[in-house]
Structure 1
Amino acid sequence: MKRLSTVEFLSYLRNRNVTLSVDGEHLRYNAPVGVVTSELRAELADRKPEILKFFKEARAVTHTQSSTIKRIPRDGELPLSFGQMRLWLLDQSEPGGITYSVPSLLRLKGDLNISVLEQSLSEIMRRHEVLRTHFVSVDGMPVQQIAPLQEFKISLVDLKDLSEPARQGELARLASLDAAQPFDLAKAPLMRATLVTLMPDEHVLLFNVHHIVFDGWSIGVFVRELSVIYKAFLKGDPSPLPELPIQYTDFAVWQRQRMEGEVFHAQLDYWKAKLSGSLPVLELPSDRPRPATQTYNGENFFSTLSKRLTNSLKVLSQQEGVTLFVTLLAAFLILLLRYTGEDDIVVGTPIANRDQSEIEGLIGFFLNMLPMRTNLSGNPTFRELLRRVQDTALGAYAHQDLPFEKLVEELKPQRDPSHTPVFQVMFSLENAPIQPLELPGVAPSRLECHEGAAKFDLSLFMEETGEPSAASATALATSSAAMGWKLAFDRRTRLSSVPAAAIAPRNSKNCVARMPEGALNPNGIRYRQILSLSPF
C-alpha cells in the first residue's frame, strides 16, 4: 500500500475523529477510545516532523512561549473577545431578542437530589468566571464584569397534582415561556434553570444560557463536570476537579493581543484573497419576498439517515481521501446549486477554535465561523467537487485563527439589514461524541427543544449519534416555507446516489449540474440533522 501524503494522512485521521494540535514542538492528539492503535501511534511518531512542518507553514504561526495564555489581573477594565463583541452589538441593536439564547430540556427519572444538583451547579459557576460575567458599557464600549460568588438557585415548579394531559400541556407552556424569555446582558448570571416535577421520581430540567458565555464545546465540559461534581457531593465529598489555571477573560485579552502582530496579517491576506470580488447573496426559494430587516423567526424540522447509508458515505469518504464533512458539504452544495442556480456559493461552518490546550476545559464562547467559498462552475463530477471542497476546507482550517468578526470588519462588505454579511447559509457536522450525563440513581434523557429562532436563512446541523435520530430545519418565516425546504432536502437529494456520482463520467446524469431528480435523499445517516430555514 502506497504511503499517504501528509494531507491524505490528516484526512484519514479526521475520518476517525482523531484531532491533532500543536504545542511548541509537541504534537498532541485527542481521539475516541480504541481508535489510536499501537501501529497508528507509531506512524504518528514517525510522521511528527512532516505534520509539524505542515501546520506551521499552512497557518503561518510559530507556537512559541509568547503564545501561551497567561492569567491577567482582574482590577482593570476587562475587554470582550471578538465573538462576544459581535453578540453584544447585536443585542444592543435588537434588545430583548432570543436569537442567541441556548435553551435545552432534560428529563431526569429516578431519585434526584435537588439540593445536591443546585450545589453542583453553584460549584460549576464558581469554577467558571464566565458564567458569573455580565457586560456593561463604559464610555460607549462594553467591558466584562465578574460578579461575586453566590449560590445558584433553581426555580422549582411542582405539577404532581395535575392530570397527565394537564402536566404535559403545562410543561410545554413553561418550556415555551422559558425559551422566549430574553437575557439582560448587563445582569449576571447569564444562565438559569427551572426544575419541573411531574412525578416524585420524574423531573424535567429547563436549562437556558446565553451564547455569549457558552458554545457547543462548552456543553461537553459542562456535562462532564456536572457528572463528576454531583457524584462527589452526593457522597459528601468535595469536588475532585482541579482548579482552572486560566479563565475565559484571560483568553479574551490574549486573543486581542495576538491579533496585533504577524499572525493577524498572514491570516487576513488569505481570507482577503479567498473572498475577493463581489460576494454572492444566496437567494433561497421562498413563498414570500425577503423582508427589509432580518427577523430571525424560524422553525425546526427533523429527519433521519440510516446506519447503512452513513457507513456507505464513510467508506466513500475514506476511498476518496476526504473527510465525511467534505462529502456531506459537497452534497449540500449541490442542493443549493439546484435551488438557487448559483455556482459561486459561500457556506459558513462553525469551528471549535480550541487549539490551545489551556482552553480545552473552559466554558465560554470560543467558537469561530469559517466562510467556505466553493466554485461549482464547469459541470464537475461529484469526485471533482469533492476535491474542490476539500481544498476549500483545508485552506479554511489552516487560517482559522482570524475571528470572523475581525474578518468582516476588515472586508467591509456592503451591509444589508435583510441578511447576514458574507454568507446566508450554514452547515455543521458534529461527530465528536459528547459524554452522557451520569447522575447516580437518575436516568437523564434529552428532550427536543424548539427554539423558534434562526440565525441564518438556512442552517443544516448534522450530528452523529448512537441511535437513529433526526434532521431538523429552522424555517423561512412560515411553516409552509420550512416544510417545503425539508421536503426538498428529503426528495431532491438522495445521498445514496453520491457514491455512484463520485465515479460517474463527466457527461453522465450524475454530474453536479445534472443530478437526477431523486439524487441525494437523506431519508434514512445515523445523524441528528437540523435543517434550519430562517426568517422571511
Structure 2
Amino acid sequence: MIFGLRIHGDVDETLLGRALTAIVRRHSALRYFFPDRDVVDFALCAAADSVSCPLDVVDLSSSGPGHREAHENNALDKLRHPFELSVPPLARALLIRHPEYCTLGIAIDHIIFDGASIPVFLRDLETVWRQLSTGDDLPDTEVSDFAAFAAAEHEWLRGARADAAFEYWRPRWAELGPTPRLPLRHVVGKPAASGTWNREISADTLADKCARLGSLTPFTLISTALFTAFHQVTGEVDLGLILPISRRNNVRTRQGIGYYNNPLLLRVELTRGMTLDAAAGVVREATLGALRHSYAPFQAIKDRFAHLELPAPGPYLYLNMMPPQRAPQLPGLGCEFTWFDQEDVLIKFPRLSIICQTQDDGSLLLDSGHNGTHFDWPDVAAVLNRAYDLLVDQGVE
C-alpha cells in the first residue's frame, strides 16, 4: 500500500526522518515481521529502539525534464519493491524534491496495515512533527498495541458469539463460497485488454436517492444499484460481493495502526424483474445480518468450513467505501494527500474492484477496473453503466 503527500514549502528531511521513525516506534504493528515468509499467521514484533523508518531522498529540483522523469521512475520503482517480510520494519518512505514542490511517498506492506490506518498515521505525523519541531521530547510509550486486539480476537473465537457467527455464515458460504463468482462471460483464449471506469455522484443526488429509498446508507445504496444492475443485465438472482470491514469498535482500535480489516461476504437473493426500489429492502436486511456477524475473521470461517465442498472461488465483485483522506497540518508547509498507483491496484487482483471515495463536499467518486484476464470489458462496462444510471435516475428501471 502506497500513499503520500504533495508538500509545498521547504521540507526538513532530518525532521521528517525522525518523525517517521517515531511513528514506527509508537505503533507495534509497524514493527511486526514474519520470520518464515511461508507462515504469515505467525509474527514477531521488533523492539521499538531497534528499528527506524528508511527514508530515501531524491533531489530533482535542478534536473532537466528528461532526466527528472527517469530518476523519479527509478526512485518510485524502489519504493514499490516488495518487502522482505522477515526484516522489519515493513515500511519505507521516499521524498522527491521537485522544482516547485516535494512528493512524499510512504509504502507499508498491506499485511500489517489497512486503509483505515492511513488517517491514524497522518494524524500521528502531524502530532509528532509539531512536538519534534518545537524541541519537545516524545513520550517513550506506544500509542497502539496490535497484540491486544489479536488477543481479544483469540478470546472471542472461543466464545458463544463466535459459534453463532459460524452458524450464520455456514449456509451462505455453502451456497456461494468465500468469493462468489461474478455472472459475466469468462474470457476464452487471449486475455482482453484491461479497463477502467470512473463516475461521480453529486452530494445532492446521493442524499436524495438515499432518502427516497428508505434512509439508506451510501454503501447500501451503491451495493443495491450494483446488485440490481447485475440482475437486470445478466438475469442472475443469487448474487454476492466482498467488502472490507474495519473492526475498530472501541477508542483504542480507532486510534490504532494495524490490519484490522476483515473481508465480509454480502449475499442477496433477488426475485426476477426486481427493481432498484424493491431490491433496496432485500439488500438492507442482508447487510444488517452480515454486519451483526462481521467480527468473525474471514480466515477463521474459511478454516472452519474447510471440510465442506464449497463452490470454487472465482473472480468476484469487491466494493470498498473510503472516507475522505485529510492531509496533516505541518507548520510552514502546505500538504495535499495523494495516492500512488491506485489504477494499478484496481486491476491487480482477480476481481472487479469498485472504490467509492467520499469527497469533502459530500459527493462520491466511483473508480473501477479489472485486468482483462477474466471478463470482457464491454460486459463489465454494461453493468457499471447500468448501476450508474440507476443511481442518477437515467433510463427506466
TM-score range normalised by the length of the shorter chain: 0.7 to 0.9
Aligned partner of 1:304 among 200, 211, 224 = 200
Q: What is the aligned counterpart of 2:65 among 142, 164, 179?
A: 164
Identify the residue that residue 163 of structure 2 maps to in structure 1.
265
Matches within 5 A, 1:81-480: 102-137=1-36, 142-148=41-47, 149=49, 150-164=51-65, 166-168=67-69, 170-179=71-80, 181-199=81-99, 202-239=101-138, 243-244=141-142, 247-277=145-175, 279=177, 281-285=181-185, 287-288=187-188, 301-317=197-213, 320-412=214-306, 414=309, 419=314, 424-431=316-323, 433-451=324-342, 452-453=344-345, 454-466=348-360, 470-477=365-372
Alpha-carbon contact 2:264-2:294 (below 8 Å) kept: yes
Contact 2:53 2:93 in 1 (8 A): no
* DSSP 3-state at the match of 1:474: strand
Q: CA 1:469 to 1:376, structure 2 compared with 1: closer, same or farther past 3 Å? A: closer
Aligned counterparts of 1:464 and 1:285: Cα–Cα separation in 2: 31
Deviation of the 1:122 alpha carbon: 0.9
After the TM superposition, which residues 42-53 of structure 1 pair with which residues of structure 2 at under 5 Å, given as runs?
none
Distance (whole Å) between structure 1 residues aligned to residue 276 and residue 382 of structure 2: 23
Alignment of 1:17-28 (within 5 A): none
Alpha-carbon offset, residue 223 of structure 1: 0.7
CA contact (8 A) 1:128 1:363 kept: yes
Confirm or deny: 8 A CA contact 2:240 2:267 kept in the other structure: yes
Structure 2: stretches of 5+ with no match in the other structure: none
Quick one: distance in 1 between partners of 2:256 and 2:230? Answer: 36
Task: Decide whether the 8 Å contact of 1:286 with 1:476 is kept in 2.
Answer: no
Query: Is contact 1:159-1:167 (8 Å) kept?
Result: yes
Distance of 2:94 and 2:295 partners within structure 1:
37
Aligned residue identity for 2:147 = T
Q: Which has the higher contact order (CA 8 A, sep 6+)?
A: 2
Q: Tell me which amino acid in the other structure corresponds to 1:356.
A: N
Amino acid at match of 2:201: L
1:518-529 equivalent positions in 2, closer than 5 A? none
**Shift of the alpha carbon at 1:140?**
6.6
Structure 1, unaligned stretches of length 5 or more? 1-101, 292-296, 501-508, 516-536
Tell me, in whole angstroms, the C-alpha distance in 1 between the residues paired with 2:15 and 2:143: 26
Once the 2 structures are TM-superposed, how far is the Cα of residue 176 of structure 1 from its aligned partner?
4.6
Superposition TM-score, scaled by structure 2 size? 0.86
Distance 1:309 1:139 in 2: 48
Is the alpha carbon distance of 1:492 and 1:360 closer, same or farther for their aligned partners in structure 2, counting shifts above 3 Å?
A: closer
User: Letter of the aligned partner of 1:217 in structure 2?
Assistant: A
2:149 partner SS: helix
CA contact (8 A) 1:352 1:367 kept: yes
Query: What is the CA–CA distance in structure 2 between the aligned matches of 1:479 and 1:105, rounded to whole Å?
Result: 31
Cα deviation per residue 1:411-459 (whole Å; 9 max; x = unaligned)?
2365788736xxx21112224x444321111112233422524334111
Q: Deviations over 1:281-302 (max 9, x none)?
A: 32434554599xxxxx976543
Amino acid at match of 1:190: L
Asked if structure 2 preserves the Cα contact closer than 8 Å seen for 1:330 and 1:389, the reply is yes
Q: Secondary structure at the match of 2:384?
A: helix
Amino acid at match of 1:316: R
* TM-score normalised by the chain length of structure 1: 0.65
Deviations 1:381-416 (A, max 9, x none): 322211100100111111111111111222236578
> Residue 102 of structure 2 aligns to a residue in which SS?
strand
Q: 1:330 aligns to what SS in structure 2?
A: helix
- Counterpart CA distance in 2 for 1:207 and 1:189 is 12
Residue 52 of structure 1 corresponds to which residue in structure 2?
A: none
Residue pair 1:350, 1:369 contacting (<8 A) in 2 also: yes
RMSD: 3.2
Query: In 2 relative to 1, CA 138–489 (structure 1 residues): closer, same or farther, beyond 3 Å?
Result: closer
* Secondary structure at the counterpart of residue 212 of structure 1: coil
Distance in 1 (alpha carbons) for counterparts of 2:117 and 2:383: 33
Q: 1:141 to 1:162 in 2, by over 3 A?
A: closer
